[in-house]
A and B are shown apart, each in its own frame.
Chain A
Amino acid sequence: MSEDVTGIVVPIHLDYTYTPGVAASRFLRHIAEGNYVGQRCPKCKKVYVPPRGSCPTCGVPTDEEVELKQTGTITAFCIVNIPFAGQAVECPYVSATIQLDGADIGFYHLIQEIPYDQIHIGMRVEAVWKPREEWGTTTESIAHFKPTDA
């Protein structure tokens, strides 16, 4: 008895040495010290956080560093109910774009410490850091954002 072979599985394993880049590395080193530091575009003056090395609209390096407050505003969000590969947190969770005060662009992070049906666009939030000994060169040093008390 033999069955037709209609497919084979070829496991692929590739190792890469990832380089976040000069600008992102500087940002991550600041994060490891508990600071959110963006970068300002010399042309359009917009402040990017996390900085990506260039101003996407001007195509020039963003060298000037700008220390940001750790409060900001939710500009959009969704509630994730579907598990996916490599997921960092348990479902359901809220993934939001948060624009920090003093920054001109939002970035993704978690919203917690509030019932999900009370989250809204425009809500004020602040960063909640992990314990100091867990800080590192990753935005995971911040556990999540929560609504500001004010």
Chain B
Amino acid sequence: MRDVAVVAYSAWNGVEHERNEVEILMPVVRDVFDKVGLTKNDIGFTCSGTSDYLAGQPFSFVSALDAVGAWPPIVESHVEMDGAWALYEAWVRLQHGDLDTALVYAVGKSTMGDLLDVLALQLDPYVLTPLWPDPVSLAALQARAYLEKTGKTEDDLAAVAESRGRRVDRASGYIASPLRRHDCPPITDGAAAVVLAVGDRARELCERPAWICGIDHRIEQHQLGARDLTRSESAKVAADKAGASGVDVAELHAPFTHQELILRDAIGLNGATINPSGGALKANPLMVAGLERIGEAASRVLDGSAAKVLGHATSGPCLQQNLVCVMESR
């Protein structure tokens, strides 16, 4: 395998009512290039992650190309997934040997539609969507199963929320029992971009590249009744394959408090600092938040504050699909 590293990361998230996706993405892409002194013409491969249903328009990723300035024509691909999987595709493409740099980006405006209805469309269209179960209710099913099985309590969930910087209010009502407001992610817009580079090219571009020493992703059954919701087998396998042991910092894409606990169990993060960025409980731009976790983790290597880090991304209801990317300094 060729050595591939994250050499730059930039992101923006918040709630945006003025700018469209292109206008959100453009400064992020400009910033990530500025960090390593590159321009679009230096990039070998471009890959992105977005969702048409988030934008409420078919082919929404097409206009995002305008933010990149795809001229002369670029070697490019797109996944209808979180940008973390776009990073995986770019990592694979860089293994071919003919290209040395890649731009990976993700953009999404979760505030445009009613996210609870939009995400109900992510379910089996024949037997689940007609019931319109919203994603918070499904997460609550998982949380209840997890608390029952492990003997943990709502206080344990609140402790997660507190350590991610959420204001905990135990007296507030349930959104979907046992989940309260502080257990659930905010609805966030955002964009993120990462530059990957190979070998000596990476060493030229920055002082401390975050070398990808393992990356893997796995999917599980979609039908919630068909899998054990209290654990994440796919995160466990991906972490094992990616070599997740001994990391200093882990950025977990856990939109709900109980999911962070499930992921910590699955990945086995003894003593690691978890989610110094605040994670998805602080900002959860859909399609972007997973790539942000990889970028945030990589940033700890880029700034010299950590030697080995882990970025995680999830997709689908109740942690159906998980990706783990382990990076280190050398």
Interface stretch, picked from A14-22, A96-104, A123-131, A135-143, is A14-22
| A62 vs chain B, min Cβ distance (A) | 10
The B37-78 residues at the A interface (CB cut-off 8 A) are 40, 53, 56, 63, 65-71
**CB-based contact B69/A57 at 8 Å:** yes
A57 to B74 CA separation, bound complex (whole angstroms)? 11
B168 adjacent to chain A (CB < 8 Å): no
With contact pairs A16-B113, A17-B112 given, residues A61 and B69 touching in the complex (Cβ less than 8 Å): no
**CB-based contact B29/A59 at 8 Å:** yes
B129 adjacent to chain A (CB < 8 Å): yes
Please tell me the size bucket of the interface on A. 20 to 34
Interface stretch, picked from B15-23, B142-150, B278-286, B309-317, is B15-23
A16 to B125 CA separation, bound complex (whole angstroms)? 21
Interface stretch, picked from B114-122, B224-232, B244-252, is B114-122
Chain A residues with Cβ below 8 Å from B130 are 8, 10
Residue of B nearest to A9 (CB): B130
With contacts defined as CB atoms under 8 Å apart, how many contacts are there between chain A and chain B in the complex? 85
Residue interface bits B269-310, CB-to-A below 8 A is 1, else 0: 000000000000000000000000000000000000000000
A interface, by DSSP: helix, strand, loop or mixed?
Answer: loop
A4 to B196 CA separation, bound complex (whole angstroms)? 54
**CB-based contact A21/B22 at 8 Å:** yes
Chain A residues with Cβ below 8 Å from B114 are 14-15
A111 adjacent to chain B (CB < 8 Å): no
**CB-based contact A59/B68 at 8 Å:** yes
Chain A residues with Cβ below 8 Å from B26 are 53-54, 59-61
Chain A residues with Cβ below 8 Å from B22 are 21, 52-54
A23 adjacent to chain B (CB < 8 Å): yes
A60 to B30 CA separation, bound complex (whole angstroms)? 8
**CB-based contact A12/B121 at 8 Å:** yes
Q: Which residues of B contact A (CB under 8 A)?
A: 16-20, 22-23, 26, 29-30, 40, 53, 56, 63, 65-71, 109, 111-114, 117-118, 121, 125-126, 129-130
Q: Which residues of A contact B (CB under 8 A)?
A: 8, 10, 12-25, 52-61
New A-B pairs, 8, CB < 8 Å, besides A15-B113, A20-B20, A54-B26: A15-B114, A19-B20, A19-B109, A21-B19, A24-B20, A53-B19, A55-B69, A59-B69
